[in-house]
Amino acid sequence: MHLGGSEPHTVAERKERTMDNNMTYSTPEEQPQMAGEPIAAYATQTTSFNPVQLHLLKMFSYAKTSESFEDVRKSLAQYFAKRVEDDMDALWDNGQWSQEKNEALLREHI
């Protein structure tokens, strides 16, 4: 068990410092205190990316110019617009959506 204020040296000591909410603290003094005291400034939170997000990050890494970035962005927007259109067509075709629902949606104050 690591009791000092310096950086932990072993994997086990680092694991001791990792809390269930994926926040890691360099020293015990940085861990959140009870009674509403603030969380230490050195806490970090990890993020896991799914395969689609990883692929998009890789794609955007090749976009070295604003034009290539814009091309990728437009391609993604067109892809998702097409999916929405196809899904709406399917709802109309199977009777789950109608002109009455369109009009009701237009009258609703959002």
Q: What pLDDT digit, counting tens, does each position of 49-97 carry?
A: 999 999 988 888 888 898 988 998 899 999 999 999 999 999 999 999 9
Q: Both 38 and 62 in a single domain?
A: no
- Domain encompassing residue 76: 51-107
* DSSP letters spanning 3-26: -SSS---SHHHHHHHB-TTSEE-S
- The pLDDT, as a whole number, for residue 9 is 53
Whether residue 48 contacts residue 67, with contact meaning beta carbons closer than 8 Å, is answered with no
- 57 & 100 share domain: yes
Distance CA 29, CA 17 (A): 11
pLDDT at residue 3, as a whole number:
47
At 72 the pLDDT is 87
Which of 44, 42, 5 has the alpha carbon at shortest distance from 21? 44
For the entire predicted model, the pTM comes to 0.49
Closest CA to 47 of 23, 31, 30: 23
Based on the fold, state whether residues 61 and 41 are members of the same structural domain.
Answer: no
Distance of alpha carbon 63 from alpha carbon 72, whole angstroms: 8
pLDDT at 12: 52
What is the structure's pLDDT at 17?
Answer: 47
pLDDT, tens only, 94-110: 999 999 999 999 999 87
pLDDT tens digits along 7-29: 555 555 554 444 434 455 455 55
**Residue 6 domain flag:** no
Q: Are 69 and 88 contained in the same domain?
A: yes
